[in-house]
Amino acid sequence: MKITLPLHSFIRSRPHLSMATAIGVAAGLLLPSSWQEMTRLLTAWNVAVWFYLATMAWMMMRANHHKVKVMAARQDERATTVLSALSVASVMSLVAIVSQLSSMKDMAPDERALHYGLTILTLVGSWFLVGTLFCFHYAHLYYQADPALRPLKFPDDEQNPDYWDFLYFAFTIAVAVQTSDVCVQTRLMRQIVLGQSVLSFFFNLVVLGLSINIAAGLING
């Protein structure tokens, strides 16, 4: 009987996420020790997040529905755990931003501008990360389900949606906190959509508040 170690299974099923995590950790270790710990942490987070988003964007643009099926099949039973953990990490990155902003009052203008740039990168990156993670999870649930019991029904009776279809569904929820013209057909999917809707509401609320704070800080110099 073949025994697969959890780490090996994770790397095999999520190579892009594993590589992004490794690059983020390496970046955190290589950053100057003179930097504040929170600045190093947020910088490493951004390196990992933007690397992951870039590789995923490249992959999704080239993937047809056959490739989507292959990617969905790679995901294992820990898909929900990974989604939850990374969503929590994204929220924690916003908490780190609040801590970062509170320590910027006494900084020189140039240093403050760099920190504002890091804050904006973190806000945008974390928001896109959450939407992208839910996109992949929806694709996983859709293609792992029995064809007669698909959890989502797309317009025009589309039976082989690609990543653009799942991105459309996930980011409609992320932006508008409501579902699109895609029909949700199972209880499990309704629970996950509800979870993303609630998370997106509070995430957007925090992003709006931090954006106002940043704008006020820039105006006041």
Q: Which domains occur in the chain, in start order?
A: 64-220 (1.10.287)
**Which of 105, 101, 141, 134 is closest to 119 using CA atoms?**
101
Entry pTM: 0.85
% of the chain beyond a pLDDT of 90: 35
The total number of residues written for the chain in this structure: 221
Three-class SS state of 184: strand
Q: What single DSSP character describes residue 182?
A: S
Give long-range contacts, CB 8 A cutoff, 24+ apart: 169-176. 169/135, 169/138, 170/131, 170/132, 170/134, 170/135, 170/138, 170/196, 171/131, 171/135, 173/134, 173/197, 173/200, 174/127, 174/130, 174/131, 174/134, 174/200, 174/203, 174/204, 175/200
Residue type, 50: W
Residue type, 67: K
Cα separation, 45 vs 112, in Å, equals 19
Contacts of 72 (CB under 8 A, 6+ apart): 139, 140, 142, 143, 144
Reported confidence tier of residue 31, pLDDT bands at 50, 70, 90: very high
Q: Could you read off the pLDDT of 108-149 as tens digits, one per residue?
A: 777 777 888 888 888 889 899 999 999 999 999 999 899 889
